[in-house]
Structures are given as C-alpha cells and as structure tokens.
Amino acid sequence: MSLMKLKRRPAARMLLFWLLPALAFAQSDWLDHGGDRGGSRYSALAQIDRSNVSALDLAWIYRTGDGEGTTLEAGFSGLQGTPILLPKEAGGSLVICSAFNEVIALDPATGRERWRFDPNVVRGKRGTQYKCRGVAQWHDDSAAADAACTWRVLLVTFDQRLYALDARTGKGCVGFGDLGLVRLMPIIKNTQPAADSDTVLTYMPPTIVRDTIVIGSSVGAKFKRADAPSGAVRAFDVRTGAFKWSFDPVPRNPDDPQARNWDEAALAQTGGGNVWSLMSADEERDLVFLPTSSPSPNYYGGTRPGQNRYANSTVALRGSTGEVVWHFQIVHHDVWDWDMPSQPLLVDIHRGDEVIPVVVQLTKHGLVFVFHRETGEPLFPVEERAVPTDGVDGEVLSPTQPFPSAPPPLSGTGISPDDAWGFTFYDQAICRKILEQHRTGVMFTPPSLEGTVMMPGMVSNWGSGAVDETRNLLITNPQSVPNLVRLIPRRDVDAEQAKSPMAGIPGGPPGIIDGTPYAIERGAQPLFSPFGAPCTKPPWQRLVAVDLDRGTIEWDVPLGTLDTLMPIPLGLKFGAPGIGGPIVTAGGLIFIGATADERFRALDIETGEELWQFKLPTAAMATPMTYEVDGRQYVVVAVGGHHAYYRDKVADYLFAFALPAN
C-alpha cells in the first residue's frame, strides 16, 4: 500500500489534534514510563519554557536508602528508573521502583514517602546487576471508583515475580494470582530452551494493552551459550494474573510462516530474540509492538544459519491473542549485538491535512526506521545493500542488510585507521596503531580472529527518543564510540581464565561460547588513547533533531563535556557517553541527563541550544519525566549513575526541579 493511498482521517480527528495541547494542559499526569503507552515522551505542559527555564531550581530530593559507592549491594545497583504520576483519583502519588524492586509512592509536591512495598529480592549476589527501570499502571473501568485495586500498579521483579498493587495503599490485589502475586518462573521453565532465575531477568516495566499485561526479559546467557534460554514474550490477564499467551521470536511452532526459514536444528537449540527494552501499546488498535533482540549466541551465528526472523525486528502483535500482525527485520543474522534497544515510538506524522500513524524504531547502529503502524510499510523506502560476508570459519552471514533511504544514519557507518583521532600527534599515532592492529571496515564488517572494531558500537539510543508531534520532530541522543570484538578458537583459550566471572564481559578475559568452536573477547579500553579519550573523532554523544515527515536532520549538537571523564578536567563539549534518553515539552524544551559528566540539561527544541544545566552528585543514567501538581510544574530524574561507567559513584537519588514558588 503506497503512502498516497493511506486513509485520510476525518476532519473531526484533525480538529482534535490541534486542540490536544490545550486539552492536555489540564491532564498533568505522566502515566507511563514513556509518558503514554506509545512512548512519545512528550508533555503538553508549558509552565516551564524557554523564557524562564534559566530560573529552574531544585525543589526536593528523595533517597531510596539503597546506598551508594562500591559496597557489595550498592556497587552493581544504582537508581535508573523513570517514575510515573498517578491521577488524583488513584491517590495522586509519584511512583518509582528502587534498584532492588521496592515500589515507592511519594507526594509529588514534596517527595515525602506515602507508602512502600518491598518484594524482598535476594541481595548480595556478587556481580548481579540490581536495577528496575519502572512500573506500570492500569485502571479498571468496570470497578467502583472507591474499590480496592480499581487503579493498579504493576511490577515485575528482576527475579521474575509479577505483582499487582493497589495504587492508593501499595497492598496486593486480592483476586490477582496469590493475593497480588504471580510467580513467573514455573511458566518460564516450561519454555524451551529452559531457563532459571539467574539467566532470565526482567528490568523493564510491563506493557499494558487493554486488559493484558505483556512482559519481556533479559537473557544474559546469549553471550555464553548457543542454547541460551528462550526469549519468549508472555502475556497475563491484568485482573486475575492468569496466563494468556506467549510469543517466541524464535518461531518453534511449525505453523508459524517464519519457521520454514529456520534450520530445524537451530530452532531446537537457539534462544534469545528476547525483548529487554520497552514495548509499546496502541490500545485503540489492540496492538503491542516488540523491539526484539539478537538470537543466541551473540557474535557468532554458525549454529543458527539464515536471517533468523523474528529476532532483531520490530514485531506488531495482536494484544489480546499474541497473533503476529506484521514484522520487519532490521538486522539479518545478527553477529554484532545490534539488537533493538529503543521502545518503538507510536506517534502521528502530519502532512497537510493527512495524519499518518507511525512506529519509529531507533537502533544501536544509528539507523532510523519509520513504519506505518497498521501495515508495517516503511514510510521511507528501505534498500537491501550488499555487506561483507567474510566471517570466521563456520559463519553464514547475510549478503545484504536493510538501509532506509531517510533519515540519514545518526552514527558513523564504518571505521578505518585514517579515522584515528587524538588531542596531539602523540595520542593520535597510538590510536592509529591500535586500529591498524585490528580489522576495520564498513558497517556490518563481521567479528574476526584478529579483532573487529565496530563502528558504531553497541551502546546507542538505549534511552529511546522523544517526539513533538506538533513539529514532526524526533529528538534522540546517539553515540559514536566504537567497540572491539574478537573471536578466539576455543583451543587457544586459557582454561583458568575462562572460569573467571569476568570472562566474556567488556574488559574481561575471553569467555567460551558453549556449543560453538569459539570464545568471545570484548574490549573495554583498547580503543581509548593514553589520555582516556576515545580514539575516534568527537563528538562521542550527540543530541539530534530529525524531521519525521521529510526524513532530514534539522540540527545536531554535542551532548556533554569531558571534565569528569579525563585525568585533566577539560570542559570541552566533545560529547560524554552515557545511558538514558530525552523528553520534550510544549514549553519548547528538551530535558535530558544521560551523560557521564554528571549534568542534567534543558535545551531549546528549535535549535539544540543549551539553556540550563544542573551539576549532580553522580550521573543521571535514566530518562526524566514531568508533571504538574497544584499549578506547579516539576521535572524529575533518577540520579543513580551506572556501574558500567564508574561503580564507585552509583547512588539512589531522585531529584525534582521546579521554578521558584510564588
């Protein structure tokens, strides 16, 4: 179906769109992790705007009590969640989850604690990443307004327990599982390849589509095993907790149309394809959108020949049944760990009097895909282009990969020794030598025995983007820092080193990939100069504005400075790597942390000009949110650092900002 044939919306719908900013001003709630079920991360609040944001100041600070620094418990935690704000009829609380899955309800005007629910997750597991990125909410339209659990807060613990809590009190909902608890592991263990609570974790909030809860997972064993656990997505009844359906991105059901495109042996043993990021829901259309990840194992695909659909895809499912409505694979036969890191953004693009419902999928490798929400047809043509296929022995790579004609790539599309960069000729020469010692090339150059420098790397667009529909403008923060990946024949791996808990993780010794002839080594420092800066030209993180109608980049600015990252505190605006994403407001502002320089910033959405910044005690590696209470607009962000950047500075702060009270 061509875009010219898309159904035009009635005039009444168009009038409603232009009235939305005015109507939404009275609706001050931030009801979902991404602001709404579709993840637009847009707020119609405009009390804080470009003319007064310079006066923004700290309103209150809350601490979860989880501690900070390098203690056993705190060292691998850090507050990274995005709160939600419930409406007044649901208690009006600001609700966040701690790194240890405690659900905490706060007074949104003061930050004082109202109630707290502790699921008592097991603490002290060395090396475990303790984190919770958020909770979800649901309103039962059929229940009495004052009945318990008419409004519910939904939590998935990282060790696979699903809770439904009364939004006003934090008590478990009677009638939902066992007094508000559904244990997920019995269901997960019955899915092949099998799993346990140490290999299938969940950090993201569930997604709600009508009366269905949809839950994804993180499958860390993909880096260690060809037969990693299944990455199936599972759905439950929001009233009772009863299991409803599951969808496995590795299509083991022989009736699935994609099953015939898989090798039979691979179907039996391949896991992963999971959804570790956020999903989105279009409740009007009964659709849930999945950003799926790579199948197992990562970095070597000889055990899973073929394109491996539905992995590395945007998949639209019927929310009530789990039926596939459409899908689009963004990376064929992934061996780069370029899975989908970003929540699919469900927004409307406006062309004259036409409204086009779309899905925007951001990617780790810097490409932006825009699909029609109902059909999956690309808004901009997608071309299959030839890519390198000379991988290691046993590998069977896809000869082509999809590239959208627009927007242009947001990150570098390859690397060579000529791209070596330094502050001086000395460190530039060292960086060039590092690049010459490894394999370099165009995007999709495969992992190799000599070590492949991937550009872009694998940490980009993790925090998702934000969209201002009134401007057709997407805001996102891609990174341009390369990664080094090397495959090593198992016979050449030191057996004792391979037993290390650090084996196979960035900066650690090689880790064996069970079921394959190889081990994997992932570099942490080899691509940094002696001065502690990346070996490639800055900026290393940017804030970018993309016109979703025309497919053009409107502006592009560095995000972050180097003063906290290097031995010499240089305030150069070269972009500071980090994790997190932006929000946008009707006040013409972008709010974002997501930088290792420990700043929280407000920028002009028209130009990218920085209008305000606040120095934090550690980095805000989370996506902020905003709301209005009693006529005052607040902007809130979790300030918890990230163990991968500097474990000694993880923390448990929640910061709230507002204009000075009258």
**Residue 293 pLDDT > 80:** yes
244-256 mean pLDDT: 94
Cα–Cα dist 45/194, whole Å: 47
Residue 487 lies in a domain: no
User: Residue 567: exposed, middle, or buried by beta-carbon count in 10 A (0-12, 13-18, 19+)?
Assistant: exposed
Q: How many C-alpha atoms does 11 have within 13 Å on its Cβ side?
A: 0
Cα–Cα dist 578/540, whole Å: 10
Q: Dihedral through CA 582, CA 586, CA 589, CA 591, nearest 10?
A: -30
**Token digits for 144?**
């009495």
pLDDT at site 634: 98
439-455 mean pLDDT: 95
CB 30 within 8 A of CB 624: no
pLDDT at site 10: 36
**Token digits for 263?**
């090798």
pLDDT tens per residue across span 572-591 = 888 888 889 999 999 999 99
Omega before residue 407 within 30° of 0, cis: yes
Residue 83 lies in a domain: yes
What residues are paired with 356 via a beta bridge?
349
The rounded mean pLDDT for the chain is 90
516-534 mean pLDDT: 83
Query: Which residue did the predictor score with more confidence, 531 or 658?
Result: 658
Residue 587 lies in a domain: yes
pLDDT tens per residue across span 145-194 = 999 999 999 999 998 999 999 999 999 999 999 999 999 999 888 777 76
**Token digits for 544?**
């970018």
**Residue 363 pLDDT > 90:** yes
User: Residue 235: exposed, middle, or buried by beta-carbon count in 10 A (0-12, 13-18, 19+)?
Assistant: buried
pLDDT at site 605: 98
DSSP H or E stretch at residue 268: helix 264-269
The confidence band for 122, taking pLDDT boundaries of 50, 70 and 90, is confident
Q: What are phi and psi of 393, to 5 degrees?
A: -55, 135
Quick one: how far is CA 481 from the chain centroid?
Answer: 18
Residue of 402, 345, 352 whose CA lies nearest to 546? 345
Residue 514 lies in a domain: no
Least trusted range by pLDDT, from 51-65, 193-207, 384-398, 618-632: 193-207
The confidence band for 630, taking pLDDT boundaries of 50, 70 and 90, is very high
Least trusted range by pLDDT, from 55-69, 524-538, 619-633: 524-538
How many distinct structural domains can be found in the chain? Answer: 1
DSSP state letters, 413-440? -EE-GGGB--SSHHHHHHHHHHHHTSB-
Residue 499 lies in a domain: no
Cα–Cα dist 147/174, whole Å: 11
pLDDT at site 440: 96
39-53 mean pLDDT: 97
Cα–Cα dist 25/155, whole Å: 28
The confidence band for 656, taking pLDDT boundaries of 50, 70 and 90, is very high
Residue of 215, 110, 115, 233 whose CA lies nearest to 632? 110
Cα–Cα dist 582/590, whole Å: 6
* Segments in 170-263 forming alpha helices (H): 185-189
Give the CATH number, domain containing residue 238.
2.140.10.10
Residue 261 lies in a domain: yes
Q: What percent of the chain has pLDDT over 90?
A: 76
Cα–Cα dist 302/393, whole Å: 8
The confidence band for 317, taking pLDDT boundaries of 50, 70 and 90, is very high
pLDDT at site 70: 66
Q: What are phi and psi of 15, to 5 degrees?
A: -60, -40
**Residue 12 pLDDT > 60:** no
**Token digits for 646?**
């500097």
334-363 mean pLDDT: 95
Write out the E strands in 49-187: 57-63, 84-85, 94-97, 103-106, 113-117, 136-139, 151-156, 161-166, 181-183
Query: Which residue did the predictor score with more confidence, 60 or 564?
Result: 60
CB 479 within 8 A of CB 457: yes
DSSP H or E stretch at residue 646: helix 643-646
Write out the E strands in 552-623: 552-558, 583-585, 589-592, 599-604, 610-615
Q: How long is the chain? A: 662
pLDDT at site 570: 65
**Residue 388 pLDDT > 90:** yes
Q: What percent of the chain has pLDDT over 70?
A: 91
**Residue 396 pLDDT > 70:** yes
CB 461 within 8 A of CB 478: yes
pLDDT at site 270: 96
62-79 mean pLDDT: 78
Write out the E strands in 167-322: 181-183, 207-209, 212-215, 233-237, 243-247, 280-282, 287-291, 313-318
Cα–Cα dist 33/31, whole Å: 7
Q: What are phi and psi of 434, to 5 degrees?
A: -60, -45
pLDDT tens per residue across span 80-109 = 999 999 999 999 999 999 999 999 999 999
pLDDT at site 345: 98
Cα–Cα dist 460/444, whole Å: 16
Query: Which residue did the predictor score with more confidence, 15 or 44?
Result: 44
Residue of 185, 122, 180 whose CA lies nearest to 153? 180
Omega before residue 539 within 30° of 0, cis: yes
Q: Which of 125-134, 279-288, 349-358, 524-533 has the highest mean pLDDT?
A: 279-288
* Active-site residue list: 337
**Token digits for 219?**
């499958």
Residue 249 lies in a domain: yes
pTM beyond cutoff 0.95: no
pLDDT at site 496: 87
Report the chain's terminal Cα–Cα distance, integer Å.
Answer: 55
Cα–Cα dist 494/618, whole Å: 38
Cα–Cα dist 337/434, whole Å: 22
Cα–Cα dist 107/632, whole Å: 13
The parent domain of residue 307 ranges over: 3-482+527-658
Residue of 288, 99, 269, 270 whose CA lies nearest to 201? 99
Write out the E strands in 513-551: 518-522, 542-547
Residue 491 lies in a domain: no
> Phi/psi class of residue 606: alpha, beta or left (left: φ > 0; alpha: ψ in -120 to 50)?
alpha
Least trusted range by pLDDT, from 64-73, 163-172, 332-341, 551-560: 64-73
pLDDT tens per residue across span 485-514 = 999 999 999 888 888 878 888 888 999 999
Q: What are phi and psi of 625, to 5 degrees?
A: -155, 170
